[in-house]
């Protein structure tokens, strides 16, 4: 019997071929069946099944139960922070320096797939180039002696945007616009390096306390990132017929499997913004699949029908960001950020300039 669980809402689905949760669009995680030990597999009555290197099940158990263990002789794993369809995330301490870090361990089920490993290596190579206050860096890509492949990132003390939305409801307009402008600054920086995120969603944005400035938005998990100037080898990795991304936030061109550029991230950020201000998604449907179809065939619901105090400038910016045709959207994330605040599209020195001054 095959069971899959949604890591976001906890729903369990039995004997289903679905890869995404129909309730919230999250990628489902397979639940490993626990078979009783047999005499041939155990070392005696009540004995422990010996670890066999190379077995997928043994590797999966190791990757999902690293708490209180030492990883690769370098990191003391303190606790599990979360899990998804492709990885497990842990809080850890680097033994040599004492620094607190977050470690993302690739599921052994995927680690045995060369394409998945190659995509993770690309993630590390790309994200190590990102050095911006609104983007989470990748510090290191490692591989343990027992074959676990992992990424090391700074541990950000804060609250996920998705958790904030659940806890506090629709966000204050001024606060939300400021955070969205910061996200635009981080995205623009990545886009200038020819990097597209491809999986922007509230679960991938951390709100970090930032002194007198309040909070700083940090975009995380470039795990599905893809260089715009992809060579044929890279393009082949994503030409599998499998849609990569989260259904609720994918652009129409991503749903269709078309080539992506910065404007796809702008579309996803438009949906994130809509949800931040209303607690709802701009396209309606009974499940993720129906909402994907709605994005291909219909226009988003006007935000001021749901929240009357949203300024007209914000509504106009969201309408433009959520256009079906990429050519009708903002050309850059900076233009989107300025439009949210009512600034002229050409005023690219606005909030981005202030961020550069502050962190230079």
d(CA 52, CA 43): 13
Ordered DSSP codes for 222-234: -TT-EETT--HHH
Q: How many angstroms separate the Cα of 179 from the Cα of each of 7, 159, 175, 199?
A: 26, 13, 6, 18
Burial class (CB in 10 A: 0-12, 13-18, 19+), 320: middle
Report the relative pairing of strands 149-154 and 140-143 from DSSP bridges: antiparallel
DSSP line for 21-84: -TTT-PBPEEEPP-PPP-TTTSSSTTPPPPP-TT-HHHHHHHHH--TTSEETTTEEEEEEEEE-
In sign, the C-alpha dihedral spanning 249, 136, 111, 203 is: negative
- What are the two backbone dihedrals, phi and then psi, of residue 234, each rounded to the nearest 5 degrees? -70, -45
At a CB cut-off of 8 Å and minimum separation 6, what does 61 contact?
A: 32
Task: Examine the residue annotation and report whether 199 is marked as an active-site residue of this protein.
Answer: yes
* DSSP label at residue 198: S
Q: Which of 172, 199, 221, 327 is catalytic?
A: 199
In degrees, rounded to 5, the angle at the alpha carbon of residue 192 between the alpha carbons of residues 187 and 197 is: 40
CA-nearest of 172, 228, 165, 229 to 201 is 165
**Helix 161-168 crosses helix 262-278 at what angle (to 10 degrees)?**
20
3-class DSSP state for residue 281?
coil
Q: For 257-272, b where at least 16 C-beta lie within 10 A, e where not — what string?
A: eeebbbbbbbbbbbbb
CA dihedral 237, 238, 239, 244 (to 10 degrees): 150
Kindly list the catalytic residues: 199
């Amino acid at each position: 019997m095959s069971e899959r669980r949604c890591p976001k809402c906890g729903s369990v689905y039995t004997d289903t071929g679905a890869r995404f949760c129909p309730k919230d669009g999250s990628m489902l995680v397979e639940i490993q069946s626990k078979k009783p030990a047999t005499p041939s597999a155990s070392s005696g009555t009540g004995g422990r099944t010996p670890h066999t290197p190379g077995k997928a099940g043994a590797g999966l158990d190791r990757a999902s139960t690293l708490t209180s263990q030492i990883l690769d002789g370098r990191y003391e794993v303190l606790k599990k922070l979360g899990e998804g369809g492709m990885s497990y995330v842990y809080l850890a301490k680097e033994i040599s320096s004492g620094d607190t870090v977050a470690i993302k361990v690739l599921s052994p089920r995927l680690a045995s797939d060369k394409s998945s490993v190659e995509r993770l290596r690309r993630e590390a190579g790309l994200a190590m180039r990102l050095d911006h206050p609104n983007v989470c860096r990748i510090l290191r890509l490692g591989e343990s002696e027992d074959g676990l492949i992992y990424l090391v990132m700074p541990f950000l003390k804060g609250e996920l945007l998705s958790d904030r939305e659940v806890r506090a409801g629709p966000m204050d307009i001024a606060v939300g616009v400021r955070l969205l402008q910061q996200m635009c600054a981080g995205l623009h920086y990545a886009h200038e390096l020819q990097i597209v995120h491809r999986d922007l969603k509230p679960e991938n944005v951390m709100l970090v306390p930032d002194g007198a400035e309040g909070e700083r938005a940090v975009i995380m998990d470039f795990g599905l990132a893809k260089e715009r100037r992809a060579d044929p080898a890279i393009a082949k990795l994503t030409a599998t017929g499998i849609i990569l991304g989260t259904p609720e936030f994918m652009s129409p061109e991503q749903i269709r499997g078309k080539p992506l550029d910065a404007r796809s991230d702008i579309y996803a950020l438009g949906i994130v913004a809509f949800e931040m201000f209303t607690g709802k998604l701009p396209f309606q449907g009974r499940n993720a699949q129906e909402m994907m179809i709605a994005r291909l065939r219909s226009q988003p619901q006007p935000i001021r029908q749901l929240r009357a105090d949203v300024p007209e400038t914000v509504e106009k910016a969201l309408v433009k960001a959520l256009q079906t045709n990429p050519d009708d959207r903002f050309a850059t994330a900076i233009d989107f950020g300025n439009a949210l605040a009512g600034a002229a599209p050409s005023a690219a020195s606005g909030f981005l300039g202030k961020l550069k001054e502050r962190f230079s």
